[in-house]
Amino acid sequence: MSIKKVLHYGEPSLREPSKEVHKVSKKITELIRDLFDTMYAQNGVGLAAPQIGVNLRVFVIDASTNEEPLEPMVFINPKIIKKSGAVKSNEGCLSFPDAYTDVVRYENIMVKAINENGKPFVMEVKGGNLLARAIQHENDHLDGILFIDHCLNRFETQEVLKKYNLPDLDPDMLIDEEEMKSQL
């Protein structure tokens, strides 16, 4: 459909929780196409609706790699229903151009959602791979949580934000993940 502007860190709507989708309508189908078009134009792995200013519980992912070819995926009203383990990764985000920092994510997850045809599905992803991390990252966007809220070192993350002229880290938004961090 069309490439949309990706909101950057500091836009208040990135911190707002998104609303549930009640019907996979033509509007939602167009939103999904816009998300894919925008994500591919930005060379992203995933993109959530709030990142283009639409606070609905929808995100798309294409985590395909040469080692692991996958189909592009759509998640509507996703909910992570099972999680275990911990994995450290260096993450970035299209809403934080060029900024990367180390974060902690669950290694194994199970997510339930609705696909672009309105059909519910459950997916289990193990091993802390790119898909598992991307699902958690994009799902967080739907709750107004950003990847920097999971940072392993707030001082290093603050320096990265400063380097790219992004707003300061909000210490009140940091998520206490000491139990997960102890598993690393």
Instruction: Give me the sign of the Cα torsion angle 20, 145, 55, 69.
Output: negative
| Residue 30 annotated in active site | no
Q: Structural domain boundaries of the chain? A: 12-181
* Residues 6+ away with beta carbon under 8 Å from 22: none
> CA torsion 183→68→114→173, rounded to 10°?
40
Show the CA angle centred on residue 60, arms to residues 56 and 63, nearest 5°: 155
pLDDT tens for the chain, 184 residues long, are 699 999 999 999 999 999 999 999 999 999 999 999 999 999 999 999 999 999 999 999 999 887 777 899 999 999 999 999 999 999 999 999 999 999 999 999 999 999 999 999 999 999 989 999 999 999 999 999 999 999 999 999 999 999 999 999 999 999 988 777 777 7
Tell me, what DSSP letter sits at residue 159? H
pTM of the complete model beyond 0.85: yes
Token output for 84: 């275990």
- Which of the following is catalytic: 138, 159, 177, 178? 138
- Say how far apart CA 154 and CA 111 lie, in whole Å: 28
* Residues 6+ away with beta carbon under 8 Å from 41: 3
CATH code at 12-181: 3.90.45.10
